[in-house]
Amino acid sequence: MDQADALLHLAVIPGLGPLAANRLISHAGSALAVRALGMQTLMAFDGVGGEVARRICDPRAEERVAQERAACHGAGVRIILHGDADYPRSFTELTDPPLAVWMRGTFQERDRVAVVVTGPRKPSVYGHRQAHRLSQSLARIGACIVAGLARGVDTVAHEAALAAGARTIAVLASGFGALYPQENKPLAERIVSSGCLISEFSFATRPSPTTFPQRNRLLAALALATLVVEAPARSGALVVARLSAELGREVLVVPGPIDTPDCVGSNRLIRDGATLVTRFEDILEEVPPLRTLAGLGEGDGPISHSNLSGREKQVYQLLDHQGRSVDDLVRVTTVPSSAVSATLLSLELKRLVRKTAAGFVRAT
């Protein structure tokens, strides 16, 4: 077994979460070395009990990895390991990045300019209309729409993106061999041709009460902002919003009637500081890369440095031709750390900044 197979073996073990798995790898020095730790050492780790330790040391590990690869190959599913060149960069910002992701379709650099659209599986007529209207507007300017392939608002968002000819990403709460819900399989096939399907679960993993919350952090990580369209007091959409805020992303909320239980959670987000959205322009005002994508502030000629926002000017002035990392910029600027990456992306879209192996540099 080589390092790649050892990493995949850890990724497919039921009950071994990515946080515990990454800690094990850090402790052992490599995924391959984890198996050599022994049962007693493994069981002493948080998140690793006797059953998980037994599975880590299972002598049939190579056989199980081969079966997983064969099942995925037969279904046209790629397995991308953490550290591979095409591993989604935004997942590395998580404290518990997946050891591997399973993917159909393509993940492109332009998909970084994305918005998560989330809401209930049974939206009201009003919620359905707003989800479609705003998703369609985002798609028309070329933004990528990210959702969870669920019934309701997720489906509306994916459909709006496809209708506009835009890219859309669906993050699954199951493995590809147990895609959920079944009625969205045709939609999933259409998404593959105009974006991608992503999962962090092995091929045969069925959806469960634990896979949905685990999936939500990937939704939050993939986008610059989360748009919530209706959410009751307890809702997966609220979880996505919280995770998005923790990652420094913008949280945008469509307000609902104050006497409607299905809007209690979303209205509370607005009360607690999320951005109220009543029109498409509200989203553009809060997410600079989307404003740039829409061409706002641009004339027929080159973009003038004087047209930059305050944050954009501050970050741009700190750059030269020597290359600076995001961490370098966070240390020397007053721009909130959560906004530095979004500001750099906006400058990249304006062709004023480019990313090199040494870091970010001025492009002009």
Domains of the chain listed by start with CATH number: 3-74 (1.10.150), 109-290 (3.40.50.450), 302-362 (1.10.10.10)
Residuewise pLDDT in 10s, the chain (364 residues)? 899 999 999 999 999 999 999 999 999 999 999 988 988 889 888 888 889 999 999 889 999 999 999 999 999 999 999 999 999 989 998 999 999 999 999 998 889 899 999 999 999 999 999 999 999 999 999 999 999 999 999 999 999 999 999 999 999 999 999 999 999 999 999 999 989 999 999 999 999 999 999 999 999 999 999 999 999 999 999 999 999 999 989 999 999 999 999 999 999 999 999 999 999 999 998 898 898 888 765 433 344 555 677 778 888 888 887 788 888 888 887 776 667 877 888 788 777 888 887 888 887 6
Res 139: pLDDT: 95
Q: Which long-range contacts (CB under 8 A, 24 or more apart) does 12-17 make?
A: 12/64, 12/65, 12/68, 12/202, 13/52, 13/55, 13/56, 14/55, 15/49, 15/51, 15/52, 15/55, 16/47, 16/48, 16/52, 16/55, 16/56, 17/47, 17/96, 17/214
What does the pLDDT read at residue 305? Answer: 56
pLDDT at 191: 97
